[in-house]
């Protein structure tokens, strides 16, 4: 996700207002008057840029995994994640917010991992096609129930069921992310073992020195 700055239109209106007011007070008939009005207008514009700098918004970058089908899945997944974010903003319960924060963070990292390694698509197929969309559906239903303003038996029961499921869902999202790095963990362990063995064989580690010392005593 990247940040895009959207400039405010107010500085333009301020510059235009200078021309209007100046012409009402002192019509621009001469070159000096024209230059003065232009300078005042420019000052209003740049002053307005300082006072009203505009706003920033978050923009999703287009996925670029090298696989069009994986890019499509990531794009759809991020659209679902955006709905989770909207639910997070709308729902004010601290525990719900905490769990949705966890889901959003894990989802974001899953998409990043998938974009870097599209071969992982098969490992997250259920997450992309079922787990994430179903979570969104549950949150939308919860928002609908909460919006009724009524805590009747069935509504309260349904809301409680969703609330009680959120930690389980958050745990599953984080487990899904962890599973994506299982092979990386094995590769790191293997590389360290090979490196340690080679260094020990060259007498470059404390382990090798200890072994050599023990051999000498024998």
Digit-coded pLDDT (tens) for 43-85: 988 888 888 887 765 556 677 778 888 888 889 999 999 999 9
Q: Which two tokens stand for residue 25?
A: 């007070």
Q: How confident is the model at residue 157 (pLDDT cuts 50, 70, 90)?
A: very high
CA nearest to 74, candidates 106, 126, 121, 119: 121
Q: How confident is the model at residue 4 (pLDDT cuts 50, 70, 90)?
A: low
Query: Rounded to an integer, what distance in angstroms lies between the CA atom of residue 109 and that of residue 103?
Result: 10
pTM to 2 decimal places: 0.62
Digit-coded pLDDT (tens) for 88-108: 889 889 999 999 999 999 999
Lowest pLDDT segment from 2-6, 98-102, 212-216: 212-216
Q: 140 or 207: whose pLDDT is higher?
A: 140
Secondary structure of 46-103 in HEC code, one letter for each residue: HHHHHHCCCEEEEECCCCCCCCHHHHHHHHHHHHHHHHHHHHHHHCCCHHHHHHHHHH
pLDDT of residue 212: 47
Q: 4 or 127: whose pLDDT is higher?
A: 127
Query: Rounded to an integer, what distance in angstroms lies between the CA atom of residue 217 and that of residue 140?
Result: 73
């Amino acid at each position: 996700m990247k940040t895009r700055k959207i400039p405010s239109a107010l500085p333009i209106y301020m510059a235009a207002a200078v021309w209007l007011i100046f012409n009402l007070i002192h019509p621009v008939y001469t070159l000096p008057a024209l230059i003065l009005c232009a300078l005042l207008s420019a000052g209003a514009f740049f002053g307005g840029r300082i006072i009203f700098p505009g706003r920033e918004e978050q923009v999703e970058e287009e996925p670029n995994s090298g696989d069009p089908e994986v890019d499509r899945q990531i794009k759809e997944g991020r659209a679902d994640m955006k709905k989770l974010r909207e639910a997070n903003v709308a729902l004010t319960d601290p525990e719900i917010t905490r769990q949705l924060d966890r889901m959003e963070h894990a989802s974001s990292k899953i998409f990043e991992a998938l974009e870097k390694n599209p071969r992982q698509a098969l490992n997250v197929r259920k997450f992309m096609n079922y787990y994430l969309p179903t979570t969104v559906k549950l949150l939308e239903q919860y928002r609908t129930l909460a919006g009724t303003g009524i805590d009747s038996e069935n509504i309260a029961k349904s809301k409680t069921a969703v609330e009680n499921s959120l930690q389980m869902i958050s745990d599953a999202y984080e487990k899904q992310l962890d599973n994506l790095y299982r092979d990386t963990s094995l590769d790191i362990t293997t590389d360290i073992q090979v490196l340690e063995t080679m260094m020990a064989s060259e007498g470059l580690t404390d382990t090798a020195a200890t072994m050599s010392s023990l051999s000498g005593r024998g």
